[in-house]
Structure 1
Amino acid sequence: MRLGLSTPVVIQQPGIASPWEADAGPADLAAIAAAADAIGFHHLTCSEHVGIPAQAADTRGSVYWDPLATLSFLAVHTRRIRLTTSVLVLGYHHPVALAKSYGTLDRLSGGRVILGVGVGSLREEFDLLGAAWSDRGAEADTALRQLRAAWGQPVVDGLAIEPHATTTDLTIWVGGRTLRSLRRAIELGNGWMPFGLSPDTIAGYLARRPAPPGFDVVLSTDRACDPLGDPAGTRRHLERLRDAGATLVNCVVRAEDPDHYRDQLAALHTIGDPL
């Protein structure tokens, strides 16, 4: 089981983000990304929300850095770690436009892009962007097929697309919290990245729809890990996710400041590496 990082600062959910993140800047973010890269974490993430309904901000938070800009910035400060959207809402984008913009990032980063995608859950955000809310699941299936067909291609529907991704082999992780999202991931993706589900529910879904060989199950810690303060509890939590079927884990890390965060990363990797 490999460990990835739910990147701090760029998403700040109440009750999960540490207080220091509110005042952190690009230099802190760059230093943390570089440390995660050097330690050997598998990936960094960045979510997508243009805007959060004000009445939902107390639970969802209101800080969501733009993923394309953020991951492009992080690409400059890292060398090996993968750059992952977690997740892009497919209904907000034309699939060929995604192939162009994130294909450019893939080329700039030396082929390190993973696209985490989802169908979306905020009706107000769809309305703001003029995106279609109804039938968004079926539309997402169509968009996934179009995105995969366009990825890394120099010509799409008679149009030259330059630059494009370094390869036509796109890694797609499908987000969601339903059995249908797992079906979509197995049929159209390379991995499943559920949210808001217990490990027991995830294990039950995977028992009903077994994953094929080479398929990733990307689970998230349901609380901030404290590997220096509670190494045994951190290990138990990671083991529970592994036993539920995780091949990768998006880790949220508790810290008092950026320096402490980097120390926590080293301890977390030591705990998780043998798992």
Structure 2
Amino acid sequence: MRIGLSAPVVTAVPGMASAWEAAAGPDELGEVVSCADELGFDHITCSEHVAVPVDAAATRGGTYWDPLATLSFLAARSRSIRLVTSVIVLPYHRPLEIAKRYGTLDRLSRGRVVLGVGVGSLREEFELLGAPWEDRGAVTDARMRELRAVWGRPEVDGMIVSPSATRDHVPLWVGGRTRRSLRRAVELGDGWMPFGLSAEQIETMLGDVELPAGLDIVLGTGRPLDPLGDPHTAERVLHRLHDAGATAVTCAIRATSAAHYCDQLAALRAITERNQHP
């Protein structure tokens, strides 16, 4: 089971972000990703919201750094950790635009991009961007297929696309919390990245479908872990997610500073190395 991270600083979701993150910036973020990279963590994620309604910020938070700019910065401060959007909302974007922008990042990072994609859930944000709300599921399916067709291609419909990605395939991890999101992952994606579900709910949903070989199940820890202060809970959470079917876990981390965050990462790495599953 691979271990990744939900990037600190770049979002400010109540109950998830630590106090130190509010005043942190590029230096602290760079320190964290460099540390995670050196420790061998699998991936680091960044979410997408262009704008959040004021009344939704109390639960969702109002701070969301742009994922392309953020992951590009993280790429320059690391060598092997994978760079994951968690998630970009496909109805907001044209597939060729994504292929060009994130394909450039894929080239700059030497093939480390993973595209987490989703249908979106904020009607007000859809309306702000002029994106289709009512049929967003069907739009997402169509754009996943189109993204597959144009990713990494130097020429599309008689038009030159340069630079393009270094690979002709990019992993697509489907975000969501519904059975339809799981079916979308099975039919069109390379992984499922659910949120807001219990381990029991995830187990039940996974048990109701035939999973293709190699499909990643990328689960989150929910509340932040405290590997130094409470290693037993951290270990228990990881065990439970493994038992629920996780092939990879995206961890949120509690910390008091960037330096403490790095100490927490070292402790988390020690826990995972003691509990490696075949």
Structure 1 and Structure 2 fold alike (TM over 0.5)? yes
Q: Quote the offset at 1:213 in angstroms.
A: 1.2
1: distance between equivalents of 2:272 and 2:210?
25
- 1:223-267 deviation per Cα after TM superposition (whole angstroms, max 9, x unaligned): 100000111111001111111100000100000111110000011
2: distance between equivalents of 1:255 and 1:96?
39
Instruction: Look up the SS of the partner of 1:218 in the other structure.
Output: strand
Verify: 1:68 aligned to 2:74, yes or no: no
1: distance between equivalents of 2:128 and 2:51?
9
Give the alignment of 1:34-183 within 5 angstroms: 34-183=34-183
Per the alignment, residue 203 of structure 2 pairs with 203
Q: Quote the offset at 1:216 in angstroms.
A: 0.3
Per the alignment, residue 212 of structure 2 pairs with 212
Instruction: Look up the SS of the partner of 2:214 in the other structure.
Output: coil
Q: Quote the offset at 1:49 in angstroms.
A: 0.1
2: distance between equivalents of 1:233 and 1:197?
19
Per the alignment, residue 26 of structure 1 pairs with 26
Instruction: Look up the SS of the partner of 2:174 in the other structure.
Output: strand
Per the alignment, residue 263 of structure 1 pairs with 263
2: distance between equivalents of 1:92 and 1:40?
33
Instruction: Look up the SS of the partner of 2:3 in the other structure.
Output: strand
- Structure 1 runs (4+) deviating above 2 angstroms are none
Give the alignment of 1:11-22 within 5 angstroms: 11-22=11-22
2: distance between equivalents of 1:179 and 1:210?
13
Q: Quote the offset at 1:134 in angstroms.
A: 1.1
Letter in 2 for 1:262: C
Alignment RMSD: 0.7
Per the alignment, residue 229 of structure 2 pairs with 229
Q: Quote the offset at 1:2 in angstroms.
A: 0.6
2: distance between equivalents of 1:204 and 1:187?
19
Matched pairs, number: 275
Q: Quote the offset at 1:69 in angstroms.
A: 0.3
Instruction: Look up the SS of the partner of 2:142 in the other structure.
Output: helix
1: distance between equivalents of 2:129 and 2:26?
28
Unpaired runs of at least 5, structure 1: none
Letter in 2 for 1:194: P
1: distance between equivalents of 2:54 and 2:87?
21
Q: Is the 8 A contact 1:2 1:272 kept in 2?
A: no
Unpaired runs of at least 5, structure 2: none
Letter in 2 for 1:65: W
**Aligned-residue identity in percent:** 61
TM-score under structure 2 normalisation? 0.98
